[in-house]
Amino acid sequence: MNGTPRALNRVLLFIIGIKLLAVGLLLVLLATVPAVASWWHGWSAGVWTGAENAFRQTRFPGREESWLWIVAGAVLVAIIVAMIAWLSQQGKGRANLLVSSDDDSDVDGEVRIGGGVAEQALRAALAERTDLAGASVATYEFRGRPGLRIRIQPRQGVAPHLLAAEVSQLVEALDLVIGQKTPVLVHMISGARSRFTKAERVR
Amino acid sequence: MTQDQETEKFLAVGPDHGASPVAGEDPEMSRILRRETHSSRAAASVIAAVLVIVLCVYALLEAGVRAVGQPPWLVDPTTAAERIIALPEGISSLLLGASGAVIAMVGLFFFLQAVLPGRRARHLLRDPRTAVVVDDEVLASALARRARTAANVTQEQVMVVVSRQMVVVNVRPTSGSRVSQEAVLTAVQAELEEMSPVPMPTVRVNLASSGVIGA
């Protein structure tokens, strides 16, 4: 439930993938089909002459170099910054506050409850259970609303629906304490620990 | 109707036979559940972004070196362009074809990552309060336990594989004792109906023809 931009990921992967695929196929065709090679010579030579003309017309007054190199550099820097921005979007969305709102009383001010309250309460409640190999709770912000992600690792053979019902009761108790219904995601994972602690072929 | 559409329908309107809804009472949770059962493509995105950054940094270096009139680092952009135009001369066609194939493979990988649905091996469970996502291996180990007690064999003799639409239970009976296929099937099916994962898989039980000795 993090804020990874999935549509953006797919669009950019599509663009990059198509480009690499086209370049790779062109190289393969150049190596194998002679007709493609002759077409390539004509086409790319034309493009290169055009580019050389552009470079010649954009020289610094009184110097050999073209300012198109500066422009190319600026474009590259822009692409690099965009890529870093894209990288930083992956897996974002951790939140600190579970509740942040005005209450109805006459006193001025805001009620804030940190995500740590719910995280630690749930973690403590889940830590006592013997049918879990591990549990972690994290607060995420999804579309402007805080939500809890409970990730539990049941031991081999634990019935997931009964476990879900009991975790659900814990969450309902938490709702009473906090006084607000928070969206909760329960994710039961089969981590390496529950897979390798016992030599069981059951999967 | 495909299984995916079935999941979408459940997420959109909830089950139509009065059971408790999949995503709790919060419509926002159905979006979260959809995201949890599909891959975010974060890993491929990181690889692609790093690749593009490395290429751009190198091009930037050469362009910068050229702009200030210094000698090139690896190859002068003009020379590089002339060599690219001269292809396929100047390089063995085997090397050219091989590098082209590698680049095309990398491109195909990114392309498929963008286009394929990327469903994860997970099922949803119904719960009135929370949204529950369960890895298929957790389902499988619960079903294996049930199948093991029904067949009265040890843990090593049962293997369960859960996929989206199918649960395959492989049982190797103990040599000399009978295992009823129907008993295992009904036990596993009953357990599965109690769990009621979305989408609901069908169960198949395979009894091995050879038994295990001394189990």
What does the pLDDT look like over B42-83, one tens digit per residue? 899 999 999 999 999 998 888 778 777 778 788 887 788 888
Distance CA B109, CA B105 (A): 6
3-state secondary structure of A145: strand
- Which of A88, A112, A129 terminates a domain? The answer is A88
- Considering only CB atoms, A172 lies closest to which of B85, B113, B129, namely B129
Q: Which domain holds residue A160?
A: 97-196
Rounded Cα distance, B79 and A132, in Å: 63
Is A82 in the B-facing interface, judged by CB distances under 8 Å? Answer: no
The verdict on residue A152 lying in a domain is: yes
Residues A76 and A122 occupy one common structural domain = no
B44 CB near a chain A CB, below 8 Å?
A: yes
Mean pLDDT score, B167-177: 87
Q: Tell me the C-alpha distance between A142 and A59, whole Å.
A: 51
At a CB cut-off of 8 Å and minimum separation 6, what does B156 contact? Answer: A199, A200, A201, B212, B215
**For the ranges B13-17, B84-88, B180-184, the one whose mean pLDDT is highest:** B180-184
Check whether residue A14 and residue A80 sit in a common domain. Answer: yes
**Which of A2, A13, A200 is opposite residue B155, by nearest beta carbon?**
A200
Q: Which residue of A has its CA nearest to B146?
A: A157
Residue range B146-174: mean pLDDT, rounded: 88
Cα–Cα nearest to A195, from A135, A138, A153, A136: A153
A52 or A103, which is more confident:
A52
CATH of residue A108's domain is: 3.30.70
Q: Which pLDDT score, from 0 to 100, does residue B15 have?
A: 44
Task: With a cut of 60, say whether residue A84 has pLDDT above it.
Answer: yes
Radius of gyration of chain B (CA): 28
Same domain, A14 and A84: yes
- B45, B159, B162 member nearest A86 (Cβ): B45
Q: Both A20 and A84 in a single domain?
A: yes
Residues A73 and A103 both lie in one domain: no
In this structure, are A36 and A115 located in the same domain? no
Q: Is residue B88 within 8 Å of B96, Cβ to Cβ? A: yes
Q: Do A185 and A119 share a domain, yes or no?
A: yes
Q: What is the ipTM of this complex?
A: 0.79
Crossing angle of the two packed helices A160-178 and B136-151, in degrees rounded to 10: 130
A141 contacts in chain B (CB < 8 Å): none
CA distances from B105 to A14, B39, B208 (A): 14, 21, 41
Top-tier CATH class for B125-207: alpha beta
Greater pLDDT, A8 or B25: A8
Nearest to B45 among A13, A19, A143 (CB): A13
Same domain, A59 and A101: no
pLDDT at A11: 94
- Give the residue from B206, B212, B98, B106 showing the smallest Cα distance to B154: B212
B97 vs A: CB within 8 A: yes
Is A48 within a domain? yes
Residue A182: its pLDDT value, please?
85
**Mean pLDDT, all residues of chain B:** 82
B198 touches chain A (CB under 8 A): no
Q: Which residue has the higher pLDDT, A117 or A192?
A: A117
List chain B residues with CB under 8 Å of A13.
41, 44-45, 48, 110-111, 113-114
Nearest alpha carbon to residue A201 among B55, B155, B176, B123 = B155
What are the tokens at A136?
């972690």
Task: Enter the tokens of residue A182.
Answer: 């928070």
| Last residue in a domain, options A29, A57, A88 | A88
pLDDT on residue B111: 95
| In a shared domain, residues A79 and A101 | no
Looking at A3-103, list the stretches that DSSP marks H as alpha helix, in order from N- to C-terminal side.
Answer: 6-32, 34-57, 68-88
Tell whether A101 and A174 lie within a shared domain.
Answer: yes
Measured between CB atoms, does A33 come within 8 Å of chain B?
Answer: no
Together in a domain, A27 and A66:
yes
Q: Give pLDDT tens digits for A117-162.
A: 888 989 898 888 888 888 889 998 877 788 889 999 988 888 899 9
Whole-model pTM?
Answer: 0.78
* A14 belongs to a structural domain: yes
Q: How many domains does chain A have?
A: 2
Domain boundaries, given as residue ranges, for chain B = 42-115, 125-207
Domain boundary at A88, A112, A147, which?
A: A88
For residue A193, pLDDT over 60 is answered with no
Q: Is the pLDDT of residue A115 over 90?
A: no
Predicted local distance difference test score (pLDDT) of residue A179 = 81
Residue A73 resides in a domain: yes
Average pLDDT, chain A: 84
H-assigned helices in B68-92: 77-86
Please tell me whether residues A105 and A191 are part of one structural domain.
yes
- How far is A187 from B124, CA to CA, in rounded Å? 9
Is residue A191's pLDDT more than 60? Answer: yes
CA pair distance A26, B23, nearest whole angstrom:
48
Going by DSSP bridges, is the β-strand pair A184-188/B166-171 parallel, antiparallel, or unpaired?
A: unpaired
Q: Round to whole Å and give the CA distance between B23 and B36.
A: 12
Does pLDDT of B98 surpass 50? Answer: yes
pLDDT digits (tens, 9 = 90+) for A97-106: 888 776 677 7
Residue A202 belongs to some domain of the structure: no
Among B190, B135, B203, B44, CA closest to A10: B44
